[in-house]
Amino acid sequence: MSLLIKGGTVVTADQSFMADVYCVDGKIAKVGADLTVPGGTEVIDAAGQYVMPGGIDPHTHMQLPFMGTVASEDFYSGTAAGLAGGTTCIIDFVIPAPGTSLMSAFHQWREWAEKSVSDYAFHVAVTWWDESVAQDMETLVKEHGVNSFKHFMAYKGAIMADDEILVNSFSKAWDLGALPTVHAENGELVYQLQKKLLAMGITGPEGHPQSRPPEVEGEAANRAIRIAQALKTPVYLVHVSTEEALDSVTRARSEGQRVFGEVLAGHLLIDDSVYKNKDFDVAAAHVMSPPFRPKKAQDALWKGLQSGNLQTTATDHCCFCADQKAAGKDDFTKIPNGTGGVENRMEVLWNAGVNTGRLTMNEFVKVTSTNAAQIFNMYPRKGAIAEGSDADIVVWDPKGKKTISAKTHHQNVDYNIFEGMEVTGIPSHTISQGKLVYCNGKLNVVRGAGNYIKRPPFAPYFDAIGKMRDMDPPFSVDRDS
Ligand code: URP
Ligand code: ZN
Ligand code: ZN
């Protein structure tokens, strides 16, 4: 099975150059000018287009059981929608219910994900703590290719991780060479504010952002970062949405701490006016956590991305249809939290990032693919156009136009948060595992073709942190005093 992408400009995280890309048996076999290839090779004409590493969305929740329902997008439809948008790999989340085995949950998610049409990997959430959890973390890292663990600092009474869990889990993750990640919102504050708002008679979706003001995120972000600092572990903050959280990330990084920050395409482009919409369905469709923020937060987040203090972009793709959102018709705290976007992340970021000069094309590749591959230790298998890398590639038409709509998207959800947005710069072809799976609007995917990607522990930054720990170990005791 061979395929040649001919005459395009290859754009990677660090360079752009004219070259053909020849793929054989799922891998990139050769990158070079005017390649001669065997007869029978499928040829894609990429003249005038950019040939980039396929997108990696490091934050999705396909068919997640959550808030009394199950996300409408499953691993089949969700990964297919990703491919239609140039995203060739997702990292989804295994979320065990508190008190239940991480291993059982992992196997359950692996089974659900067997229908995926693109490659995928898993973070695993730590939602409770005892010795069996530590043991399961070890098994997951050593035998199952998991190298990142998620901690929800919100969702009190459900999956919230308190400080005891954070400290134990971050420490264990360090020992295993795994990266702790956090959803940074103070769950206690949210809970108390929700009660207060409901008691005041505020029951509609407008109560959602009011119960999660920026301080809620800023406090938790700073707490997670300082815990990581004390334990000398790296930490990755998912969906940074406020200046308060970004400031904590920026300050820690300027102090030399290994803190990574992710921003959602939605948080970069949509503001909190959506919650004032009189139509419950529209306002509820935007209920996600952290919520969309006032416009000025978007400027700060773009600057965070431009400055490199935020390294990855994601979607937190977690879809619920209007009939599911209706569970919170009389109580905003019961609206299932989540929005979609896996299909649109790359095009909205190109349109608002590259077309405006906020990002170079190479920076676009970094924040949509390469940085995630490096942070989560899949590089250069993923996130690169290089000989030996997986042939996960997007051919990008910088002049292609489209108007985003739920009527035409491939996502299995009845609303699109980017509805009506006109974008210039869209994928013309997506290649997954060396096969053409999307061509000018048409998907050609095979159920179950996606592979589970094992991610080894001890990404390169562990070595760097280790050297610093050797010089100044955590918990050293000053015996002279
Ligand atoms: O609202 C959201 N983000 N739902 C999915 C779960 C999470 O917090 O990431
Ligand atoms: Zn979250
Ligand atoms: Zn999430």
Ligand 2 centroid from CA 156, angstroms = 13
Identify the pLDDT of residue 218.
98
Identify the pLDDT of residue 475.
79
Residue by residue, pLDDT tens for the chain (481 residues) are: 899 999 999 999 999 999 999 999 999 999 999 999 999 999 999 999 999 999 999 999 999 999 999 999 999 999 999 999 999 999 999 999 999 999 999 999 999 999 999 999 999 999 999 999 999 999 999 999 999 999 999 999 999 999 999 999 999 999 999 999 999 999 999 999 999 999 999 999 999 999 999 999 999 999 999 999 999 999 999 999 999 999 999 999 999 999 999 999 999 999 999 999 999 999 999 999 999 999 999 999 999 999 999 999 999 999 999 999 999 999 999 999 999 999 999 999 999 999 999 999 999 999 999 999 999 999 999 999 999 999 999 999 999 999 999 999 999 999 999 999 999 999 999 999 999 999 999 999 999 999 999 999 999 999 999 999 999 889 777 776 5
DSSP type of residue 66 = E
Q: Is the CB of 61 under 6 A from ligand 1?
A: yes
239 conformational bin, left if phi > 0, alpha if psi -120 to 50, beta if neither: left
Length of the chain: 481
- CATH code, 2-52+385-398+425-443: 2.30.40.10
Ligand 1 centroid from CA 104, angstroms = 22
Residue 8 backbone dihedrals phi, psi, to 5 degrees? -95, 175
pTM comes to 0.98
Identify the pLDDT of residue 477.
74
Q: Where are the domains of the chain?
A: 2-52+385-398+425-443, 54-375
Ligand 3 centroid from CA 16, angstroms = 33
Q: Whose CA is nearest to atom 5 of ligand 1?
A: 338
Q: Is the CB of 289 under 6 A from ligand 1?
A: yes
Ligand 1 centroid from CA 288, angstroms = 6
> Which residues surround the ion ligand 3 when the cut-off is CB under 5 Å?
316
Q: Is the CB of 316 under 6 A from ligand 1?
A: yes
Comparing C-alpha atoms, which of 211, 179, 176 is closest to residue 196? 211
Q: Is the CB of 318 under 6 A from ligand 1?
A: yes
CA angle 84, 240, 331 (to 5 degrees): 85
Comparing C-alpha atoms, which of 316, 313, 317 is closest to residue 367? 313
Q: Whose CA is nearest to atom 7 of ligand 1?
A: 289
Ligand 3 centroid from CA 400, angstroms = 30
Q: Which of the following CATH numbers is that of domain 54-375: 3.50.50.60, 3.20.20.140, 1.10.1740.10, 3.40.190.10? A: 3.20.20.140
Instruction: Name residue 455's amino acid.
Output: R
For 456, what's the count of Cα atoms within 13 Å in the CB-facing half-sphere?
Answer: 8
Q: Is the CB of 288 under 6 A from ligand 1?
A: yes
Q: Is the CB of 268 under 6 A from ligand 1?
A: no
Ligand 1 atom closest to Cα of 154?
A: 8
Identify the pLDDT of residue 411.
98
Q: Whose CA is nearest to atom 2 of ligand 1?
A: 338
Q: How far apart are CA 210 and CA 193, in angstroms?
A: 8
Q: Whose CA is nearest to atom 9 of ligand 1?
A: 316
Contact residues for 257 (Cβ-Cβ < 8 A; gap 6+): 225, 228, 229
Q: How far apart are CA 31 and CA 388, in angstroms?
A: 10
CA angle 188, 169, 223 (to 5 degrees): 45
